[in-house]
Chain A
Amino acid sequence: MKLKTNTSLIIIIAAALLLQGLSAVQYYYTRSLLADELENRAESEITAKAIIVKNALNLAENSLNGHIWDLKRNLLHPDSSYSVMELVLRSHPNLTGCWVAYVPNYFPEKGRLFEPFVWWDHGEIKHAEIAAEGRDYTQNRYYKAVCASDAPMWTDLYQDVVSGLNLVTYMVPIHDRKGDLVAMFGLDMSTEQLGDTLNYRHIYPSSYNFLLTADGQLLAGPKHEREKKVQEMAHIISMINDSTVERSLSNSGLSTVIPFADADGDEGLVFYAKLKGNPKWKIALVCYDKEVFGQLKKMRRTIGLLMLLALLALGLIIARSVKNNQKLQQANLTQERIGSELRIATNIQKEMLPRSFALACDDIDIFGSLTPAREVGGDLYDFFVRDEKLFFCIGDVSGKGVPSAIVMAVIHTMFRMASAHENNPARIMQTINETACEGNESNMFVTMFIGVLDLPTGHLRYCNAGHDRPVVVGGETLAEKANIPIGLFADFKYVMEETMLDDGAMLFLYTDGLTEAKNLERQQFGLPRVMATLTDCPPNAAQLVERMKQAVQLFCRGAEQSDDLTLLAIRYVKVNPEMVLEESLVLQNDVRQVKTLNAFVQQVTERLGIESSLAKQIKLAVEEAVVNVIDYAYPAGQTGDIDVLALSDGQWLKFVITDRGVAFDPTEKEKADTTMSAEDRPIGGMGILLVRELMDSINYERTDGKNVLMLKKKIEVKSEK
């Protein structure tokens, strides 16, 4: 049991590990797919956002460039430039201001420095000339840079001193017809709007874009409300600025990727790249792992949960199967126990059958065989000799197996008990039936044949309770009258039948397991085959039974035996030994005749040379038997003869006492109890006890209206007569 539990535990653990392994592989595979996907999407977004930025810048550049011609046309009229700048300002919503910084002393009337400026102020356009000696734009580094390069440029981010807005400025050098630099034409643009546009929509909701100037200043980005985010962005910006890898978007769109982790442990990736051309700004995209892989983690959790459920189910299944296994083992054990008990039962049943077929009498050759279909069967047969009579029976309990076997054992015992003091088979049957009917709730019934064969005469009395009719081989089939099986109606009167068996007659009894034995084609052996087998049979009980068994086995050829098979053969051989003594005496039914009887017996024993002690025993037995007849055979006042015949073959001395009185069977009397105390002990009952004890056998037979009582004693002959 312990082993079983461990095995199931191991199975569950192995299954868990396997599932875990599979899910890990699946997780990492999916994660790498998602990472690739992220990269692709980040690249697309960065590229798209870069285009947006470039578009915004281009728009602004174009606004300015579109009015250069206008400005040049008015180079002679310093104040006319205001209207041009106004046009520029109105052409693009993100522009906050437009200006022209003329080279020093370009308009002598305006002084050395002249810088007309147009700007939006709370929805209105204002004009002013903002040049002052304290704010010498010629000293501005961008101004100098454009002078030097003579090419347009975007400035870095700065905070406008007037509006406080974060601005970038685009400036273009203006030349006159001769090609001399005459002024810087510039516009100011707020980056706030650009930040909003960049962060209008993202591949992942929490992602954000921002722009950095070439030297790493934040140009435009999301409006972070949380300080944490602001710090995080600052951190990311410094990471980008520290990074030595710089790629331009022109490099087939490959951006640089830097992983980061914020203070809360949120991890993510920063993608950044330089914009193509001028200005040399950098655009960055921040993505968070939890958004990229969040679904995956969710999926992993779900799968994990499912796996747990699956494992639980597996555990339950295994536990149940282990339990079932245990049950099965238990059932096997029970089966084994039942099997061994059945084997014992088989032996017990075998032992209940007569152990030996060698009887103490020479006139009977008997052989029986019982083959149960299962371990135990519901068939029975039995026989024994009592008082020169062979009692035998064969029976078949309805059904088969254990229930039948129990009934069979009971019936068998009842047969023995009922026939102990009863010579009439019908009365024996009746006694068994009455007992069998008591409390027969399961309605089991028994077909049974009981026979009582008087050995000296061959007189067979029998009673058949619904059993297959026995056969006298080469002669009649017995049992014309069908009594009902026993166990059905307690008050049924069983009828006895009788016949005389000839010298050498063979009686064959069987149960329906013989006639109903089936072969593989479901054909029955049948009575005709039984009779055919019997016609050519050896005059030997054992050989007959064997031959019948072989015949039925040959017929069935491997078909499973469906019913118990019982066969019983009895051969009656009359023994007619040569007599060395045959004396007879006729007595009257008078107790005073005892003297004559005793003298007769004495004479017989003396003639046979029987020693005195044995002679006295024989004399006593005969006296008691005759006195018994005198006392009971004839009712008071009636007289009749009693014939006493003494016969001896030299081995046995036999007395046959015959009277014509009322039927009286002294052998049916129960043996007197010799162990009782003097006070309890009845005075009578000792006569028949002495007869039984002193003689070797005693036999009563009622034939032709006569009571025939026979006493037999083995004698030792001292001398030949």
Chain B
Amino acid sequence: MITKIEELDGKFVATLEGEMDTIAAMEAEEVLKPLYHSDGKDVIIDCAKLEYIASSGLRILISILKGAKAGGSRVVMKHVNDDIMTVFKLTGFVDLFEFES
């Protein structure tokens, strides 16, 4: 999978592409770690090309969310597909994150 982060207009934008299984999540975490301390900046996570996510991937997302909440900023999930949304629903993530299409 491909994981990128960039800073745009004072916001972090993370792009997740492909399948985030347990192994991929371990690799992605290395890239995404800076977002655990977003220092008051909003985080946008683009899931347009995210096909699959395991619970280890979900743990990363929740860690990012906890960091952002601590700094008073928002985490917005963008372009989440139905399959991923199913997982988000099962785990209660739909109530934790903000979603944009």
Whether A638 sits at the interface, judged by CB under 8 Å, is: no
Q: How far is the CA of A676 from the CA of B95 in the complex (A)?
A: 9
In the bound complex, residues from chain B placing their C-beta under 8 Å from that of A617 are: 83, 86
When each residue 613-646 of chain A gets 1 if its CB lies under 8 Å from chain B and 0 otherwise, what string results?
A: 1001101100110010000000000000000000
Q: Which residue of A lies closest to B65 (CB)?
A: A678
Kindly report which residue of chain A lies nearest to residue B81, judged by CB atoms.
A613
Given contacts A592-B23, A678-B96, is CB(A613)–CB(B55) below 8 Å? Answer: no
**Cβ of A179: which chain B residues have Cβ within 8 Å of it?**
none
* B82 & A613 in contact (Cβ 8 Å cutoff): yes
Whether the pair A595, B62 counts as a contact (CB closer than 8 A) is no
Task: Tell me whether B4 is interfacial, beta carbon within 8 Å.
Answer: no
B55 touches A686 (CB 8 A): yes
B90 within 8 Å of A (CB atoms): yes
Contacts of B86 in A (CB 8 A): 613, 617
Q: Which of A11-19, A242-250, A411-419, A688-696 is the interface stretch?
A: A688-696
Other-chain residue from B52, B66, B87 in contact with A690 (beta carbon distance below 8 A): B87
Which residues of B are found within 8 Å of A616, using beta-carbon distances? 51-52, 83
Interface flag for A598 (CB, 8 Å): yes
In the complex with contacts A594-B22, A594-B23, A690-B90, A675-B55 CB distance below 8 A: no
Alpha-carbon separation in the docked complex, A694 to B83 (Å): 12
Contacts of B87 in A (CB 8 A): 620, 690
Check B62–A683 contact: CB distance below 8 A: yes
Residues of A within 8 A of B62 (CB): 678, 681, 683
Task: Fill in one digit per residue for B74-86: 1 if any A CB lies within 8 Å of its CB, else 0.
Answer: 0000000011001
Contact: B23 with A690, CB < 8 Å? no
Q: Which residues of A contact B90 (CB under 8 A)?
A: 674, 689-690, 693-694
- A686 to B88 CA separation, bound complex (whole angstroms): 11
8 A Cβ contacts from B51-73 to A:
51-56, 58-59, 62-63, 65-66, 69
How many angstroms from the CA of A679 to the CA of B54 in the assembled complex? 21
- A684 on the B face (CB < 8 A): yes
Q: Is the CB of B23 within 8 A of A674?
A: no
Q: Is the CB of B91 within 8 A of A686?
A: yes
B17 touches A (CB below 8 Å): no
* Residues of B in contact with A, size category: 20 to 34
Question: What CA separation (Å) do A598 and B23 show in the bound complex?
Answer: 11
Q: A616-B83, A619-B52, A678-B69 are in contact. Are A627 and B22 (CB under 8 A)?
A: yes
Q: Majority SS of interface residues in chain B?
A: helix
Taking a contact as CB atoms under 8 Å apart, the answer to whether A690 and B55 are in contact is yes
Cross-chain contact B59 with A684 (CB below 8 angstroms):
yes
Min CB distance A656 to B, Å, is 20
User: Counting CB contacts under 8 A, is A687 at the interface?
Assistant: yes
Contact flags A648-691 to B (C-beta < 8 A → 1, else 0): 00000000000000000000000000111111010110110110
B55 touching A594, Cβ below 8 Å: no
Question: Known contacts A681-B96, A683-B62: does B91 contact A674 (CB below 8 Å)?
Answer: yes
Do B63 and A595 have beta carbons less than 8 Å apart?
Answer: no
B63 CB to closest chain A CB, in angstroms? 6
- Could you tell me if A679 and B55 are in contact, using CB atoms closer than 8 angstroms? no
Per-residue CB proximity of B14-51 to A under 8 Å, as 1/0? 00000101110010000000000000000000000001
In the assembled complex, A33 has its CB within 8 A of some CB on chain B? no
Is the Cβ of A591 less than 8 Å from the Cβ of B22?
Answer: yes
Nearest chain B CB to A622's CB is how many angstroms away? 11
Which residues 579-599 of A sit at the B interface, judged by CB distance below 8 A? Answer: 591-592, 594-595, 598
Contact yes or no, A613 B83, CB < 8 A: yes
How many whole Å from A600's CB to the nearest CB in chain B?
A: 13
Interface of A is mostly: helix
Find out whether the CB atom of A686 lies under 8 angstroms from the CB atom of B58: yes
CB distance from B12 to the nearest CB of A (A): 17
Q: Given A679-B69, A686-B58: A598 and B83 within 8 A (CB)?
A: no
Counting CB contacts under 8 A, is B10 at the interface? no
Of chain B, the residue at the smallest CB distance from A687 is B55
CB distance from A681 to the nearest CB of B (A): 6
A623-B54, A674-B91 known; A683-B59 Cβ under 8 A: yes
B39 nearest CB across to chain A (Å): 17
- The answer to whether A690 touches B65 (Cβ under 8 A) is no
Output the nearest chain A residue to B54 by Cβ-Cβ distance.
A623
- Find chain A residues with CB under 8 A from B54 CB: 620, 623-624, 627, 687
Give complex CA distance A216, B49 in Å: 158
Q: Nearest Cβ distance between residue B64 and chain A, in whole angstroms?
A: 10
Contacts of B51 in A (CB 8 A): 616
B92 close to A674 (CB less than 8 A): yes
CB atoms of B22 and A675 under 8 A apart: no
Which residue of chain B is the closest to A614 with respect to CB atoms?
B83
Q: Say whether A675 contacts B21, CB under 8 Å.
A: no
With A613-B83, A624-B54 already in contact, the answer to whether A686 and B59 are too (CB < 8 A) is yes
Please give the distance in Å from B59's CB to the nearest CB on chain A. Answer: 5
> Once bound together, how far apart are the Cα atoms of A687 and B21, in whole Å?
12
Bound form: Cα–Cα A613–B82 in Å: 9
Q: Which residues of A contact B56 (CB under 8 A)?
A: 627
**Minimum Cβ distance to chain B for residue A425 (Å):** 31
Interface positions, chain A 692-710, Cβ under 8 Å from B, are 693-694
A612 to B54, CA, bound (A): 16
Find A679's partner among B22, B23, B66, B92 (CB 8 Å cutoff). Answer: B66
Which of chain A's residues has its CB closest to B84's CB?
A616
A687 to B25, CA, bound (A): 14
> Smallest CB-CB separation from B52: which chain A residue?
A616
A678: chain B residues within 8 A (beta carbon): 62, 65-66, 69, 96
Set of chain A residues within 8 Å of B92, measured between Cβ atoms:
674-676
Of the candidates B22, B59, B65, B91, which one forms a contact with A623 in the assembled complex, judged by CB atoms under 8 Å apart? B22
Taken together as a complex, chains A and B put the C-alpha atoms of A694 and B90 apart, in Å, by 8
Report chain A residues within 8 Å CB of B26. Answer: 591
Give CA–CA (A468, B8) in the complex, Å.
Answer: 75
Q: Which of A613, A679, A683, A693 has the most CB of B within 10 A?
A: A683
5 residue pairs, one from A and one from B, having the closest CB atoms: A674-B92, A687-B55, A686-B55, A693-B90, A683-B59
User: What would be 24 A-B contacts, judged by CB atoms less than 8 Å apart?
Assistant: A591-B23, A591-B26, A592-B23, A594-B22, A598-B19, A598-B21, A617-B86, A620-B53, A623-B54, A627-B22, A627-B54, A674-B90, A676-B92, A678-B62, A678-B65, A678-B66, A683-B59, A683-B62, A683-B63, A686-B58, A686-B59, A687-B55, A690-B87, A694-B90
Which residues of A approach B to under 8 Å, CB–CB?
591-592, 594-595, 598, 612-613, 616-617, 619-620, 623-624, 627, 674-679, 681, 683-684, 686-687, 689-690, 693-694
Interface residues of B (CB under 8 A from A): 19, 21-23, 26, 51-56, 58-59, 62-63, 65-66, 69, 82-83, 86-87, 90-92, 95-96
Q: Using A612-B83, A679-B69, A686-B55 as known contacts, list a sample of 20 further A-B pairs with CB atoms less than 8 Å apart, ordered by residue number in A.
A: A592-B23, A594-B22, A594-B23, A595-B23, A613-B86, A616-B52, A620-B52, A623-B21, A623-B22, A624-B54, A674-B90, A676-B92, A677-B96, A678-B65, A678-B69, A683-B63, A686-B58, A686-B91, A687-B54, A694-B90
